[in-house]
Structure 1
Amino acid sequence: MEASHEHRMKTLTYGERKKKKKRQITQRDNRPRVNVHDYTIANLKDCTVGRMPGTVEGQQFIIEKCENMNIYIFDHIATVTVDDCINCNIFLGPVKTSVFVRDCKDCRLMVACQQFRTRDCTKIDTFLLCTTKPIIESSTAMKFACFQYYYPQLEEQFQSAKLSTFNNNWSSIFDFTQVPGESNIFLLPADLKIEDYIPLPTTEPFSNLEISTEPCRSVVPITLGTRKRTSDESSLIVFFNDGSSHDRAVKFMQTMKSEHPDVVFVQSSEVVLELDEVERVFGNQSYQAAAKQGPVIGLELCGEDVIRYCQEQIVNIMKGTTGLVFVSQNKTLAKKQIENFFNYSDMQMKI
């Protein structure tokens, strides 16, 4: 009898269901309506436009039919389409999902996103962070380099877009319509000047953002990617998660750049390391407890005596802390460790 009574109490009458549905409709109607025009830049020519931090806040954005434009979106975005643009300089704040560029030519882009794809484009220079492998389709003369930018709100916007600054496959581009014997993909030189491609904004309010394109200030670690290496010696560094591993990884990179400028960062990854992979990557099980604490940050560095330099810097950085860091011990082991760690990272990549 008690169970039957409880069932009747949970069952709404027709009138109660009708009132509940009406309340739900009212709640939906009271939500702020999105004006698509606030998130669209279209049919413009020969001017500078954009959005300041806090004005997009994760909405979808559309850029289309623009010519000879400087376009700056200094906020995080859900997804972006760029269509039918000619000779435009475009900066996009961190994009949570995809950036799709179609029917564009002679454009320069600065983009951070989960997925990047072009179709029917030509002569596009892209400074990219992409957590998956970028794809071009029916596109020619496509040039790529690593994302390189800073302004005070940018790191927080990466967090809002749920993008790790360490997960970047900018140089691992796949040509969906490749013709044998021909190449549509080229990597820009590592020592280029960003302003020669995407000028800093000089008009208000964008000029007040304290923007920097200096490599040492970039929110995203600048990596060599698949360019030719300067040395056959590499080292793997893995920062295990203890709440401050991100800050230590950033400090380590800054120190290495200042004290050993010939050392090059090749690639980086932030990934959850499964326990059964720990022994395969590091050669033993002693790091399993640390791996349980959350995502680890892995870095590959290249250069003469890089292993010794890394070992010395890690000792200094880790003084007074209880965190754990793995550093390669010799060239032979390092090569295998790097291969195992980044192959595993590639397998975890979202498609």
Structure 2
Amino acid sequence: MSKAGAARRLAAAAAYGGGGLGAVGASLYGVLRAEAALARRKIGKTVGQPPDPTGLYGADLPGRVITLAVLGDSSAAGYGATGPEETFGAFLAAGLSDLAGRPVLLESVAKVGAKTADLEGQIPRALVVAPDICAIMIGTNDVTHRVPPSASVRALRNAVETLLATGSEVVVGTCPDLGTVRPIAQPLRQVARQWSRRLAAAQTIATVEAGGRAVSLGSILGPEFDASPVDLFGPDRFHPSPAGYRSCAQAMLPTVAAAAGVGPDAVDVPEATRGEGVRSLALAAVEAAENAGTEVSRVDTEGTGLGPRGRWALLRHRRRHDAPVVGPIDDVAADRSRAGSDVAADTAAQLSAAAENWP
């Protein structure tokens, strides 16, 4: 079966309750279990909580506040960062504020250890700020915890549809390529690469079918990270370093800005000379999974988004913008601890007031 066919099968399984990626032989399964146990010992357990980047970015800028929510797992939360300014959310919010020339109010609800099914519990917290746009990074823990891909993809589609129904735009950073995580040895590393790429392709299909936009983070944690593991991976060699979080934010920023209708990417057109254009959704999803920073979104052709091979999609290789150095973060809940607690009611009131009262 082709890669596109496998991705289509996963997405269909999610929609209709089918299975996952298939079984592996008993002998190989035993080897994989042993390698997985060794990798877990090398990586170790997550300790503590990441710093919370929630707050107002570009507070001195004019214009209406753009509200941004970040949902997802430990990478979305910024695990391993020593300060809020080193997290994925901070880099993304600061970059969006810089491109828009407007303040950005960030609400980060991502949680260490989260799987795709956990997005359901994060959504009510994200909606506190009535986000204009939601950025999601999810999928790694689904692979490492052997969540059936069909269940993972179904949960993602439900989350995207729920957020879109509130009027928010949604951008999903798909599952990274786990085949470059150094503590994972062969043959598990190759299996992890295959599973994570297939999940990423299926996530893309589910996101676009729901009406959102997907951005591949595959080789963001692939050749680029593999070439500079000391710089882009954190001390546990599994989670990104601050430089790695900046790289992930740079990959998603052009699409987030375009979805928000700000910056140069809001008005540009696809360039065929750069390999951009309309594809079948399944082919676009597979191509994106193998090329970092590739955006896939829904497109209508001749009044319909459907072709002989299913839905059409627009594939883009947007130019990256430099992620600026994160400046001061307004102290609206920026330093609060998220150690096992939900957003406090008074914090919710502060955030809502900040969005409503800004000119």
Normalised to the residue count of structure 1, the TM-score between the two structures is 0.26
Normalized per residue, the structure richer in helix is 2
Larger gyration radius, structure 1 or structure 2? 1
Bigger RCO of structures 1 and 2 (CA < 8 A, at least 6 apart): 2
Normalized per residue, the structure richer in strand is 1
Normalised to the residue count of structure 2, the TM-score between the two structures is 0.26
